[in-house]
Amino acid sequence: MLLQLFVINRSGGLVYNRNLSPQAPDLEINDWLRLGSTFHGLHEISSQVAPVRSSGIQCIQTDLMHLECLQTLTGVKFVITARPQGCPNLPALLKAIYSVYSDYVLKNPFYEMDMPIRCDLFNKHLDAMLSKY
């Protein structure tokens, strides 16, 4: 079961957040912002302190939650959380979400990079894709 999706820009700002399930914790906007910036900081630290070349945190698994991160070449991070049981292939799902983002956000002439994502077509196609999972 998918819980939450958030997108973090290259400077660590939260540009998109969404609960994907009614069972997801209900967070206020300040909690979302804090979560996004904290994850960005931990991601950057982990890529620098790793003993071998690393691209940062890609996956965190616990008994209660599974977190998966996809960092794009531009530095935008797509992070999704899910319950560990019955969890779909999250890396493939994140790549599909990135494809929808590329098609409906980046190609939107009114969207400015690093600004919050407010695009109805993105939400519509994201809903359609997520309903398959």
Domain ranges of the chain: 2-131
What is the per-residue pLDDT for 76? 94
Which residue type occupies 104? Y
Spatial distance between the Cα atoms of 47 and 44, rounded to a whole number of angstroms: 5
Phi, psi of 25 (to 5 degrees): -60, 135
pLDDT of res. 69: 95
CA 22 to chain centre: 18
- Tracing tokens 């660590």 back to the chain, one arrives at 12
CATH number of 2-131: 3.30.450.70
Query: In sequence order, what are the beta bridge partners of 72?
Result: none
Residue closest to 5 by CA, chosen among 80, 88, 65, 58: 80
Put simply, whether the predicted model's pTM sits higher than 0.85 gets the answer yes
More confident residue, 94 or 53: 94
Report residue 25's pLDDT band, with 50, 70 and 90 as the boundaries.
Answer: confident
C-alpha 52/C-alpha 47 separation (Å) is: 9
